[in-house]
Structure 1
Amino acid sequence: MIRHPSPRCSAFAVAFAATLLAGVAAHAAPLANTTVAFLMPDQGSTRYEEHDHPGFVAEMQKLCPTCKVIYQNANGDAARQQQQFNAAVSQGAKAIVLDPVDSTAAASLVKQAQGQGIKVVAYDRPIPSTPADFYVSFDNEAIGKVIAKSLVDGLKAKNVPTADTGLLEINGSPTDAAAGLIKKGIHEGLADGGYATLAEYDTPEWLPSKAQQWASGQVSRFGKKIVGVVAANDGTGGGAVAALKAAGVNPVPPVTGNDATIAGLQLIISGDQYNTISKPSEIVAAAAADVVAGLLGGDAVKPDTTLFGTPTKLFTPTLVTAANLKAEIVDKSINGKPIEAASVLCTSRYTEGCKTLGIMP
């Protein structure tokens, strides 16, 4: 059973700020001049470059100003990630934060590192078959359940019939264990909703283009029977929206998302996407940095639970719709900055939508 921590991102930030400040002095000496690696899986989502990487580096600099951070992104290629992992080992990394392209293949990387005394922190995506030293993530199963149930509740609120209608389900990459958890959560969220799942798809590498191509075929197949699309993240959701629009579907049925990317938030502002999940990556990145410091500094790192045999810290996601986008994204801040600024979201074609939602640059 997974125990969920408090859902307030601001509370997470405060709690971790206190933890990090308390640990700086203790960690600094044993960490001095240590090399750590931060290896991310793909560029299908912009979050890794814009939030995860800078967030991790910022926290590591607070904990250890003399530490070196090696950053690499595998761009969806498991073989490339293995090369990047080997390079980090050869460069003397004492800890590797790994968000795996292929959760199954990553097991051999964990064994390789641990055989050399290198700590491995699984990040965002778990590594089920071989326990890492720690796992840090938002609760992926909860994400799937929340976005699916939100969609069902929205359809019911509008009295959308369940007879002779149904939903499309667009999952994430079949090689990503986190995508599997999101998929499980989606199934849970849809279980009692009364809407049939017309068709389901696991999107290779989370590529929006693949999601769009598949959704296009399903629009041709099912037409007006489609009353909603449960997409596992903003990229696949955006692909579904593009397919529906290209087919002339108007209005576009509600489409879910996850990650609160700029593109996804703008689709919500324009009315083309129904929901997303706010999970500021800086929070998880800070947690990963603190875990690394604890593991290397000899301090006990307290988990929330154990998942796949690995000590785990999970954060609770926040659902975002048009109704609370301003409060959760524009008005809420992380490290003194808005999660996303109104000036970034409210560009030309989204100006009217922003006005409707009370968002002013």
Structure 2
Amino acid sequence: MGGRMAGWKRFLGVFLLGSLLLTAGCPERGENQSVARQVKIAVSLADMQRDGNQIIKQVMDGRKKQEQVDITWLDAKNKAAEQQKQLQQLAGQGIRAVILQPVDPAAAPGMVRQLARNNIKVVALESLPPNTPVDAYVASDHQRAGELQARFVEEALKQAAGGGPGPGATAGGPSGGGAQGQGGQSAGQDQGQGGQSPGQGRQVSPVVPPGLQLPARRPLNVMILAGDPRDSAARIIASAAREALKGNPRVQVVAEVDQPGNDPSTVSPAVQRALAKLNNQIDVILAADSHLIVPAVEVLKAAGLNNRVLTVGVGASKEVSRALVAGEHDGEVDNRPDLLGQYALDAAVGLAKTGHWQYDTRVTSGDYSIPARIVPVRLISQANSFLLQERWGKELERKSGGGQDQGGGSPGGDQGQGDQGGQQGGDQGGDQVQGDQQGGQANQAGQTGGSQQKPRTTLRITTRDGKTVEVQIQGEVKKIESVEGARPGARQMPFQAGGGGGGGGGGGT
């Protein structure tokens, strides 16, 4: 009996020990199973430092746990050879799908074939490799982007003719302080703050609408920065803008310049040559990429022309968004990198797990019909720039409201810089320079009494022959009407002032 009891005890002990070991091992097995269920994908970006790509990375990293996906990030640093080398190293790593944003679309077909031989699915992002059977294509609506650029110009023309608020109008109307006579974006912004106390600093204010920046002559002269001719996205954007403007007799494309490799360093000399050739009579610059519009704006600022040349880009990068909010740039087509990241990840995960994905259209690439998903784009101007502030947050607000850092927080610091810009634009003649000097005196008066008495508005009127006249008025201007020649039935140009502060300095042309 005792022997049998001892046997039972030994059996029970072994059973309990085994149960404990099995129980302790379960979490580890579950964790291993979870890791085993993860699929591996790679994302090869042309340049990780680009603002849009940073948004794409943020979106994808935020979903990888939910999607049970392991993402390998590859940064080609804008070098096609480096991108090819990185993709070659993916062989044997268990990668099931690659999201490919090619540095050089012309070199991409060979990269895609190499990945296909390793049984890796390929999602082309933004640029479609020519005549190549990729498994998916995710891109913003390039055709619509070019059309929206042309629409911006056409709406500005309607506004100039008194036909509507135009693309850059804001709810409060343009700022006072004589901005209408200058027709400049940043000038109106700086002047509108002249009556504030220095402690408030410079705020983002309504700017002169694009229509009031256009010259009286027609047709307008348009320059297109077309980007890399090998890049299908850039080609489509530039072509769509050109075709949309072609049927408008009030507009003519006078220069279209390529930028191989989308290299911004090629932009400045191109814009300078065009300005010299046309005696500074460039009225609009359109760019297929935000990074191309930045050096163009810098050239215009240096020449004192930024206040009378409309600029419109595509991409809404952080730097360009700052310029737009600050009034140095007029319009951007936002290609929605947040949605590009969502849709590209959907495609890669679907192809990696099931071999299929939810596309909504097809595009042609040579001999192949490619499943695709096209991201809607949107036109951004000063009026709806808050849409970009949602993306870039307080950093964008600090940049646009940073007047306190320059000139000791005094509005006069910004206005004085505007006067220098006005003097640089010497093609307006001696009367214009004299007007700028008068504007500087008006600034001082506005700063001295603006916070203690009623706001004072300085109206600067520039005639077509280049003469400038300034009139200073106590109080805020509610409405201004210009009647050409005082002829019966002549067209009137209404101007709603949004409460301009004291002083009329600020650069103009």
Shared fold per TM-score greater than 0.5: yes
Is the contact between residue 31 and residue 293 of structure 1 (CA under 8 Å) also seen in structure 2?
Answer: no
In structure 2, list runs of 5 or more residues that go unmatched.
1-32, 162-213, 404-496, 499-509
| TM norm structure 1 | 0.80
Q: 1:196 corresponds to which residue?
A: 252
Q: Deviations for 1:33-62, whole angstroms, at most 9, x for unmatched residues?
A: 4321101113683221x2112222222332
Q: 2:384 aligns with which of 299, 303, 324?
A: 324
Q: CA RMSD in A?
A: 2.4
Counterparts of 1:44 and 1:162 in 2: how far apart (Å)? 42
| TM norm structure 2 | 0.58
> What is the one-letter code of the residue matched to 1:261?
S
Counterparts of 2:348 and 2:398 in 1: how far apart (Å)? 39
Instruction: Describe how 1:257-272 pairs up with structure 2 within 5 A.
Output: 257-272=313-328
Classify the secondary structure of the residue corresponding to 1:302.
coil
Q: 2:228 corresponds to which residue?
A: 173
Q: Deviations for 1:306-348, whole angstroms, at most 9, x for unmatched residues?
A: 112210000110111011112x233xxxxxxx3221x211225
In structure 2, do the counterparts of structure 1 residues 117 and 168 end up closer, same or farther at CA, with 3 Å as the change threshold? same
Counterparts of 1:221 and 1:45 in 2: how far apart (Å)? 33
Is the contact between residue 164 and residue 225 of structure 1 (CA under 8 Å) also seen in structure 2?
Answer: no
Matched, 1:55 2:56: no
Q: 2:296 aligns with which of 240, 253, 265?
A: 240
> What is the one-letter code of the residue matched to 1:303?
Y
- Per-residue deviation at 1:175? 2.3
How many pairs does the alignment contain? 315
Classify the secondary structure of the residue corresponding to 1:91.
coil
Q: 1:69 aligns with which of 56, 67, 71?
A: 71
> What is the one-letter code of the residue matched to 2:398?
T
Q: 1:297 aligns with which of 353, 356, 359?
A: 353
Q: 2:281 aligns with which of 204, 225, 229?
A: 225
- Per-residue deviation at 1:267? 1.3
Q: 1:131 corresponds to which residue?
A: 133
Runs of 4+ more than 6 Å apart: 28-31
Q: 1:32 corresponds to which residue?
A: 37
Counterparts of 1:133 and 1:30 in 2: how far apart (Å)? 26
Is the contact between residue 39 and residue 353 of structure 2 (CA under 8 Å) also seen in structure 1?
Answer: no
Q: 1:276 aligns with which of 325, 332, 335?
A: 332
> What is the one-letter code of the residue matched to 2:51?
T
Classify the secondary structure of the residue corresponding to 2:291.
helix
Classify the secondary structure of the residue corresponding to 1:245.
helix
Q: 1:3 corresponds to which residue?
A: none
Counterparts of 2:254 and 2:286 in 1: how far apart (Å)? 11
Q: 2:370 aligns with which of 286, 302, 310?
A: 310
> What is the one-letter code of the residue matched to 2:46?
P
In structure 1, list runs of 5 or more residues that go unmatched.
1-27, 331-337
Q: 1:212 corresponds to which residue?
A: 268
Is the contact between residue 31 and residue 296 of structure 1 (CA under 8 Å) also seen in structure 2?
Answer: no
Is the contact between residue 219 and residue 247 of structure 1 (CA under 8 Å) also seen in structure 2?
Answer: no
Fraction of identical pairs, as percent: 23
Instruction: Give the number of the structure whose alpha-carbon radius of gyration is greater.
Output: 2
